[in-house]
Chains A and B, each alone.
Chain A
C-alpha cells in the first residue's frame, strides 16, 4: 500500500510539474505555406536559431502546401484557432482578414528603428488596409514570359518590345510549326495571371482599383469596356493556337516541363520559378525572359508588372504579440533574408538581400526589372473580391473551351461584385 501511495504521489508530482515546465516557454504558433524541402530547410534552421537566441520562446511551426493552405486557414479562422503568425497573399486575400479584425495592427510596431528601411514601399503597400499596416512582406514575385533562345534563333525571332510585336511573334512561331506558349490551366489561377495583366493594361488604373475594392458606385462596377476587350484578347490566344492544345487539362507544372523539354518556345513563369530552370535541357539551349510587353494606346498602365509580395500576419487574438513580432523581426532581418534567398532560391522583400552572392543572375535580373517597374498589378485572384475572382477563375477555362463569351463573363462579374458590395 505504501508503495502504491508513493508511486501515485510521484506520478501526481510529475504530472503536476508538466504544465509548469510547459509554462516556462512562451509558445508562438506559426503557419505558412512553404513545405518544399528547400524552404523547410531554411525555416527549420531559422526557427532553431531563433529559439537558441530566445530560450523562453517556443515556435511551433506548421507548413502546408499552396492549395491546402487556402482551406486550412479558413478552417482555423472559422473555428477560432488562428495561429499567432500566419501566411497571407497580399491584396484582397489579406485585406479580408484585416477587414474582419483578424489581424494585429502593426503600424506602430513597424515604426521601430530596426524596421526602418527594411522593405520597399511597394512591398508594404499591398499589406495595408484603411491606412493601417496589417502584414509584413516576406518575398516578392512577378511574372515574366520565358523564351527558349535556341528556338528564337532558329527562326530568326527577337524579343518583342510592344504587344503588337508579341502577337506577331506568336504568329511567326505558329507559322514555323512551333507551339508558341506552353500553358497549363488545370488549376485556373494560371489564367488569372494573363487576364490580370491584360486588365491592368486595358482598364484605367483608378477605375480598376475602384472596381477591385468595390468602391465604385454599384451601377458602374466593372462597366469599363477594357474588361471585355481584355477577355476577348485572352480568348483569342486560345482560339488562334498560341497556347498548346488541351490547356485546361494540363497543370502548370506539366506546362513548365513541356517548355523545359523544348516542346514550346515560351512559357509564362513566376520569378520564384527561375531557379527550377537551372540544370535542365532548356538551360543548355539558353533561355531569357521579358515582361509582357506594353500595349500601344491602351487605356490602362503599361508600367506595372503582374506580381505581388507574400507576407506574414499576426493574429489579433495572439496572447504573445511581442514574441511574435520578435520572430518576424528575426526572419526578416537582412542576415536571415540573405540566407532565405540563398537556401530557397526565392526572392525576398528585404532590401539588399538578393545579390549576386545569394542568387542566380537571371533571378537578380528579374528582380531588377521588378524594381524598375512603377508598381505591381497584384495577382488577380487575390486582389479582387472572392466572388468576382471566382467568376474570372472559371471563365479562364470557359473562354478557352468556348463555353463562355467575354460579355457574359463580365455580366456575371458585375452581378457577383454588386452582391458582395451590398453585403459589406
Chain B
C-alpha cells in the first residue's frame, strides 16, 4: 500500500526523515552545548577548587555570594556600558556611515578607500589589537600621549588604562574602533537590497538625504538593525578577550566584566563552583536576550 494513501503514516515517516536529518546537529548540540550548560549549573551548587578532589555541596550559596560581591555590580555596570556604547556606535554610527557611503556622495575611489579603511580593523586578531592599543595608550611614551603633549593638550594626558575612571571606556573605545567598520559592511549589504526606485521617487519629491535616511533606509533595513543590535548586546555580555588583554579587569577590578570575573574565579582564585555560578548567570541573561529577539522577530 503506498504511503500516500495513509496520511498518518506518511506524516510519521516524513517526520522521522526530518529528525534523522537534524539528528547529527542535535547530538552535537546536546554533547557540546546543552550537556556542558547543565553540568555547569550542577557545578555551581558545589564549592571546590581546581586543585581539590573534594567537592562540598553548598546549594545556592555561590549565587548568594555573587549577589553580595561588589565586583558583580561593577562587572554588570561595565557590561551594560559596553552594550550601550556598542549599540550606539556599532548600530547607530555604522548605519549612518553605511548610508553615507551608499548615497554616492563620495567618488567611487574615496568611498572604496573609506570602506576599506573602516573595515580593515575587524580582520585583525583581537589580541593584536589589544596589545597595539595598549602601547598606543601607554602614558608618556605612547603615541596618544605624545600627540596630546605636542598639540598643547597635555592637561588631557592620563594613564587611560591605569585609572579606574577611564580604563573600561578606553577598552570599549578600542572595541568600537575594531568592529564599527564590520557592522557598517553588513548594513551596506542590507541597504543595497532596498529598491533604488524608492530613493529616486523621494528625490523627485524633493526629499533631503536625511529624510531619505529616516523614511527609506531605516525602515528598509530594520530586520538587520534588530539582528545586529541583539548580536552586539550578546557580544557585549560575553566580552572577555579584549578586556583581558588590555587591562585584565584592572586596575583594582575597575574594568572587570562578567567574562573576566568568571575566568578569574576559576583560574586565579581557585573557586570553580563560584565561577560556574557566574557562568550560569551569564547564560540566563543571554537566554533572556535571545528570547526577546525571537519574540520581536515573531511580532514583525
Interface residues, chain A, with chain B CB atoms under 8 Å away: 70-71, 74-75, 77-78, 96-97, 100-102, 186-188, 244-250, 254, 258, 386-387, 390, 394-395, 397-398, 400-401, 403-404, 423
Q: Are B138 and A394 in contact (CB under 8 A)?
A: no
| Neighbouring A residues of B270 by C-beta, 8 Å | 74, 96, 386
Closest chain B CB from A3 CB (angstroms): 35
Check if B158 is an interface residue, CB within 8 A of chain A.
Answer: yes
Q: Are B140 and A96 in contact (CB under 8 A)?
A: no
How many Å lie between the Cα of A186 and that of B53 in the bound state? 34
Indicate which residue in B47, B247, B267 contacts A71 across the interface (CB closer than 8 Å): B267
How many Å lie between the Cα of A102 and that of B161 in the bound state? 39
Closest chain A CB from B19 CB (angstroms): 34
Q: Are B138 and A249 in contact (CB under 8 A)?
A: yes
How many Å lie between the Cα of A245 and that of B141 in the bound state? 11
List residues 119-154 of chain B with CB under 8 A from any CB of chain A. 137-141
How many Å lie between the Cα of A395 and that of B267 in the bound state? 19
Indicate which residue in B49, B139, B160, B252 contacts A403 across the interface (CB closer than 8 Å): B252
Check if B272 is an interface residue, CB within 8 A of chain A.
Answer: yes
| Neighbouring A residues of B52 by C-beta, 8 Å | 100
Q: Are B50 and A246 in contact (CB under 8 A)?
A: no
Q: Are B50 and A245 in contact (CB under 8 A)?
A: no
| Neighbouring B residues of A386 by C-beta, 8 Å | 268-270
| Neighbouring B residues of A403 by C-beta, 8 Å | 164, 251-252, 254
Nearest B residue (CB) for A399: B252
How many Å lie between the Cα of A246 and that of B158 in the bound state? 7
Q: Which of A74, A97, A247 has the most CB of B within 10 A?
A: A74
Known contacts A74-B51, A96-B51, A248-B159; decide if A395 and B140 are in contact (CB<8 Å).
no
Indicate which residue in B50, B139, B160, B248 contacts A74 across the interface (CB closer than 8 Å): B50
List residues 204-257 of chain B with CB under 8 A from any CB of chain A. 247-248, 250-254
| Neighbouring A residues of B254 by C-beta, 8 Å | 401, 403
How many Å lie between the Cα of A267 and that of B254 in the bound state? 27
Q: Are B163 and A401 in contact (CB under 8 A)?
A: yes
| Neighbouring B residues of A100 by C-beta, 8 Å | 49, 51-53
29 pairs, A vs B, C-beta closer than 8 Å: A70-B268, A71-B267, A74-B50, A77-B50, A78-B50, A96-B49, A186-B161, A186-B248, A247-B159, A247-B162, A248-B250, A248-B251, A249-B138, A249-B159, A249-B160, A249-B162, A250-B159, A250-B162, A254-B138, A254-B141, A258-B141, A386-B269, A390-B268, A398-B251, A400-B251, A401-B162, A401-B163, A401-B254, A403-B164
Q: Are A249 and B161 in contact (CB under 8 A)?
A: yes
Q: Are B272 and A78 in contact (CB under 8 A)?
A: yes
Q: Which of A78, A100, A188 has the most CB of B within 10 A?
A: A78
Check if B41 is an interface residue, CB within 8 A of chain A.
Answer: no
List residues 188-212 of chain B with CB under 8 A from any CB of chain A. none
Interface residues, chain B, with chain A CB atoms under 8 Å away: 47, 49-53, 137-141, 158-164, 247-248, 250-254, 266-270, 272
How many Å lie between the Cα of A254 and that of B253 in the bound state? 22
Q: Which of A102, A244, A249 has the most CB of B within 10 A?
A: A249
Q: Are B162 and A186 in contact (CB under 8 A)?
A: yes
Indicate which residue in B159, B161, B252, B268 contacts A404 across the interface (CB closer than 8 Å): B252
How many Å lie between the Cα of A398 and that of B164 in the bound state? 9
**Secondary structure call for the B interface:** loop
| Neighbouring B residues of A387 by C-beta, 8 Å | 269
Q: Are A97 and B250 in contact (CB under 8 A)?
A: no
Q: Which of B51, B158, B163 has the most CB of A within 10 A?
A: B51
Q: Which 5 A-B pairs have the closest CB atoms?
A: A249-B162, A246-B159, A246-B139, A248-B162, A398-B252
Closest chain A CB from B160 CB (angstroms): 7
How many Å lie between the Cα of A245 and that of B142 in the bound state? 13
Q: Are A97 and B252 in contact (CB under 8 A)?
A: no
How many Å lie between the Cα of A404 and that of B164 in the bound state? 11
Known contacts A78-B50, A386-B269; decide if A394 and B161 are in contact (CB<8 Å).
no
Q: Are B139 and A249 in contact (CB under 8 A)?
A: yes
Q: Are B267 and A70 in contact (CB under 8 A)?
A: yes
Q: Are A401 and B164 in contact (CB under 8 A)?
A: yes
| Neighbouring A residues of B252 by C-beta, 8 Å | 394-395, 397-398, 401, 403-404
Q: Are B251 and A97 in contact (CB under 8 A)?
A: no
Q: Which of B137, B163, B251 has the most CB of A within 10 A?
A: B251
| Neighbouring B residues of A248 by C-beta, 8 Å | 159, 161-163, 250-251
| Neighbouring B residues of A78 by C-beta, 8 Å | 50, 272
Q: Which of A188, A403, A404 has the most CB of B within 10 A?
A: A403
Closest chain B CB from A82 CB (angstroms): 10
How many Å lie between the Cα of A387 and that of B269 in the bound state? 6
How many Å lie between the Cα of A397 and that of B270 in the bound state? 21
How many Å lie between the Cα of A250 and that of B162 in the bound state? 8
| Neighbouring B residues of A394 by C-beta, 8 Å | 250, 252-253
Other A-B contacts than A70-B268, A386-B268, A400-B251, 15 sampled, CB-CB below 8 A, are A71-B267, A74-B270, A75-B267, A100-B52, A188-B251, A244-B140, A245-B159, A246-B138, A248-B163, A249-B163, A250-B162, A386-B269, A397-B162, A401-B163, A403-B252
